[in-house]
Amino acid sequence: MAQEDLEITQSLQHPRRSLGNRYRSQAEKFLKIREESPTNLRWAEQNARQSVLFDFTNEENWKILMRIKVIMEDSEGAKTVLEDVFSVLGRDPDLMSQLGSVEISKSSEDLLNAVFSNDPLDPDLWWEKIGSDVRRIDEFSERLKILDVSDQRANLLFSRRLERVRRNGNEELFLELSRHLLAQRPKNHEAWQELGRMYERRGEYDEAWLFYDQSQTIFPESKSRDRFRERIADSIEGRGAIPWNKPSISDRKSFLDRLRNLSTSGHQVQGSNELVDVSSSPFAEIDELKSAGRLTEAFFLARKMAVEGKDGAEDIVIELLGELDG
């Protein structure tokens, strides 16, 4: 009974995971009776796709979808599944390039299993594989710095991996690599706020303010920056210490420039041989970045212009926040 209660509790805490399991179970049922009706295999595929949609972190959901693609002899579909898995794993350029030369057939399931064996989706299994190996931790760090983790699923996956890094005592690496994740998907105000708290606990108040500032810019209702200033003021007043001042405009601009540079990690950014003409509009460079689909870069550039006090920049920041997808 206790085990049953635990399973019910876990199901309630993870509704998407529960739905993923339900759809996978349905897919398995339709797969078993596929010989009874031509439509059953199609129903199995649809349910398998839903299981991945609701819970991409469960490898079993991917495996049954791949098994169905193989049974359907859908080579292109199998290749698409692998490409999607690689996107979740951060669109590693080496993995993506291998697909171009591989004939996807009945080896698809073996390829998928090999990918998961090397790079488990479960963060605890992932940590078990590399946690005690300093060399592999270093490799993970260098790899993450060049990966494209702008895909929401990839960003979540690597956030959970970084949380295992932090839990096991490597706070410095956690702080460093978290910037890469947030720079590519900057709308996660809770993550900015959590990093602010970590820097505040370390007594690094300038860094804390910068992260709280990002959090409150993205979600003004959080008031995280304002509350931080109040805590600092109360603390200094109680100790009679020298008042703390927020970072200078120069420091804030430098911070945003670093984030903008990090936001291009993993992307093949095509450089332009033409200078951007800003004579017609001070926001011409932002417009060009938006046209190229480089919204995070545009966002950090707009934030920098707002810090500089350029008229209209704050409105563009708000507009870009509406275009960023979480």
Residue 240, φ and ψ in degrees, nearest 5: 65, 30
- Domains of the chain, earliest start first: 9-119 (1.25.40), 122-183 (no CATH), 186-247 (no CATH), 259-264+281-323 (no CATH)
* pLDDT tops 50 at residue 8: no
Distances (CA, A) of 299 to 107, 207, 249, 285, 318: 43, 20, 17, 11, 9
The reported pLDDT for the residue numbered 99 is 63
The better pLDDT of the pair 99, 131 is held by 131
Of the pLDDT bands very low, low, confident and very high (cuts 50, 70, 90), residue 234 is: confident
Given a contact cutoff of 8 angstroms between Cβ atoms, the answer to whether 121 and 57 are in contact is yes
pTM metric for this prediction: 0.78
**Residue 9 pLDDT > 50, yes or no?**
no
* pLDDT cut 70: percent of the chain above it: 84
pLDDT of 288 higher than 80: yes
Nearest to 294 by CA among 303, 302, 286, 283: 286
Range 70-78, long-range pairs (CB < 8 A, 24+ positions): 70/106, 70/108, 70/109, 71/31, 71/34, 71/41, 72/41, 72/45, 75/104, 75/105, 76/104, 78/104, 78/105, 78/108
What is the rounded average pLDDT for all residues in the chain? 86
d(CA 286, CA 294): 9
How far apart CA 50 and CA 61 sit, in angstroms, is 9
8 Å CB contact between 244 and 261: no
Give the span between the Cα atoms of 136 and 118, in whole angstroms.
12
Query: Which residue is listed with tokens 């979600």?
Result: 219
pLDDT band at 272 (very low <50, low <70, confident <90, very high): very low
Cα separation of 49 and 65, whole Å? 6
List all residues 6 or more positions away from 61 whose beta carbon is below 8 Å from its beta carbon.
Answer: 20, 23, 24, 48, 51, 52, 55
Could you tell me if 192 and 212 are in contact, meaning their C-beta atoms sit under 8 angstroms apart?
A: yes
Q: Is 36 helix (H, G, I), strand (E, B) or coil?
A: coil
Pick the residue with more confidence: 106 or 136? 136
209 φ, ψ (degrees, to nearest 5):
-60, -40
Residue 273's pLDDT is 42
Mean pLDDT (whole number) for 114-119: 93
Q: What is the pLDDT of residue 52?
A: 95
CB of 77 closer than 8 Å to CB of 108: no
Give residue 98's pLDDT band: very low, low, confident or very high (50, 70, 90): low
Better pLDDT: 187 or 94:
187
Q: Which two tokens stand for residue 64?
A: 């049954």
Residue 4 confidence (pLDDT)? 41
Show contacts of 143-147: CB within 8 Å, 24+ apart. Answer: 143/90, 143/92, 144/90, 144/177, 144/180, 145/177, 145/180, 145/265, 146/93, 146/265, 146/266, 147/90, 147/91, 147/92, 147/265, 147/266
Q: What percent of the chain has pLDDT over 90?
A: 62
DSSP reduced 3-state for 56: coil
What confidence category does residue 304 fall into, taking pLDDT thresholds of 50, 70 and 90? very high
Cα atoms found within 13 Å of the Cα of residue 316, Cβ hemisphere only: 27
Q: Which of 42-46, 143-147, 213-217 has the lowest mean pLDDT?
A: 143-147
pLDDT of residue 51: 96
